Structure 1
């Protein structure tokens, strides 16, 4: 079970590196003038919090 958790975390961290560069584009499409750069306000907050851990 511990191995599965470790793999899941590794995949999540790797995915965050791939998704993060595209988050501003997604924010611009969905909410052109919303504060996408503010962590915790939009989906961009989740991957942004994973990066310092990696």
Structure 2
């Protein structure tokens, strides 16, 4: 299989779907890290108060 045929097949609808899912996965990971950091801040504040 030549590289040009591989890239032309990824340029179609399958390539677009892979790109959308990859961006969604990265955004989900970033949101998960943000939520964990916010929860950690709340836990630290409640421990300092009590």
Scaled by the length of structure 2, the TM-score of the pair is 0.41
Q: Which one scores higher on RCO, CA 8 angstroms, separation ≥ 6?
A: 1
Which has the greater radius of gyration?
2
